[in-house]
Amino acid sequence: MSKADKLFVNMCRGILDNGYSTEGQEVRARWEDGSPAYTIKNFGVVNRYDLSEEFPAITLRHTAIKSAVDEMLWIWQQKSNNINDLKSGIWDEWADADGSIGKAYGYQMAVKYKFHQGLMDQVDNVIWQLKNTPQSRRIMTNIYNFADLSEMNLEPCAYSMTFNVTGDRLNAVLNQRSQDILAANNWNVVQYSVLVMMLAQVCGFKAGELVHVIADAHIYDKHVPVIEELIARPQYPAPKFTLNPDIKDFYDFTTDDITVEDYQHGPQIKNIPIAV
């Protein structure tokens, strides 16, 4: 059975059984009808995924792996903040008339900084360090730029990656300030797992661990019955995931370079209400 399923079920059970409810408090998020979107939450959830053992797509339901990777490449490779460059509609709620989400996500990745090795953006700095100083403990990105927060249509949820090389393995920590568990958990896990695998391949390493740290891991009140049904479903073995081995440059990857095989999963959950 998939280890990602077990981690997901244990996390959800922990939130539902022992979490803190915000019901009756003043909350920012609202449902489409304007009513407050309360949550049950746990603070400081940490999940570890060993990418050398399996690809961490849950099988309780289908995770749209290529769509998740497309969004990751939109941020990390295209360094775009315009939804017209994105194949899915997941950012439509936060885009302006021109398609921009403001100075968020890909915009921050495109900003150039003066590093010791020269002027470059955060992604190119990570790649340079992995190739030239892999022993460094300073290989990281951070897109939570306080100077630009007022010009972001949504402040970054997954905001920081820290990379660490141990032997021949590339590991990473994904820091996330907040996560809607039903809507986004496995989506984020999948896309940042693929990022680690891509960077490992082009920088000469094997993919190691992804450690996912969530400050506020929450389940919205209207999602509770869905989560209860979801975590009671049958579990299947993890799918087989491979990258095109011929790609040697991170900027050459596309979603066509991804192969997913033997992905057994439960039925997709449709029309999930989204709090904004």
| Contacts of the segment 239-246: beta carbons below 8 A, 24+ positions apart | 239/55, 239/57, 239/59, 239/263, 239/264, 240/55, 241/55, 241/57, 241/65, 241/194, 241/197, 243/194, 243/197, 243/198, 243/201, 245/201
Residues 6+ apart with CB under 8 A from 238: 2, 3, 4, 54, 55, 56, 57, 59
138 assigned to a ligand binding site: yes
Report the distance separating Cα 254 and Cα 258, nearest Å.
Answer: 8
95 assigned to a ligand binding site: no
Tell me the one-letter amino acid at 31. Answer: W
**Token duo for residue 172:** 């990473």
Q: How does pLDDT run across 217-265, given as a tens digit for each residue? A: 999 999 999 999 999 999 999 999 999 999 999 999 999 999 999 999 9
Mean pLDDT of 50-61: 98
219 assigned to a ligand binding site: yes
Q: Identify each DSSP E strand in 84-168 by its residue range.
A: 112-115, 118-121, 139-142, 158-166
**Token duo for residue 68:** 């998740």
**Token duo for residue 34:** 């304007």
Residue 201 CA, chain-centre distance (Å), reads 19
13 assigned to a ligand binding site: no
Q: From residue 53, how far is each of 2, 167, 169, 207 by CA, in Å? A: 10, 17, 13, 10
Q: How does pLDDT run across 16-32, given as a tens digit for each residue? A: 999 999 999 999 999 99
The pLDDT value given to residue 114: 97
What does residue 259 show for φ and ψ, rounded to 5 degrees?
A: -125, 125
- Is 12 one of the annotated active-site residues of the chain? no
Is it true that domain 3-182+196-261 has CATH number 3.20.20.70?
no
180 assigned to a ligand binding site: yes
127 assigned to a ligand binding site: no
pLDDT for residue 270 is more than 90? no
Q: From residue 47, how far is each of 8, 119, 186, 199 by CA, in Å? A: 9, 35, 11, 21
What confidence category does residue 275 fall into, taking pLDDT thresholds of 50, 70 and 90?
confident
The pLDDT value given to residue 1: 83
Give 213's strand partners. Answer: 46, 175
Q: Domain residue spans in the chain?
A: 3-182+196-261
The model's pTM is 0.96
pLDDT for residue 13 is more than 90? yes
Residues 6+ apart with CB under 8 A from 146: none
220 assigned to a ligand binding site: yes
Sheet of strand 169-180, all strands in order from the earlier edge strand to the far edge: 20-21, 39-50, 206-220, 169-180, 158-166, 139-142
Report the distance separating Cα 4 and Cα 197, nearest Å.
Answer: 17
The mean of the pLDDT values for the chain is 97
Q: H-helix or E-strand containing 199?
A: helix 181-203
Active site residue: 16, 29, 157, 260, which one? 157
pLDDT for residue 276 is more than 90? no
262 assigned to a ligand binding site: no
159 assigned to a ligand binding site: no
Mean pLDDT of 48-75: 98
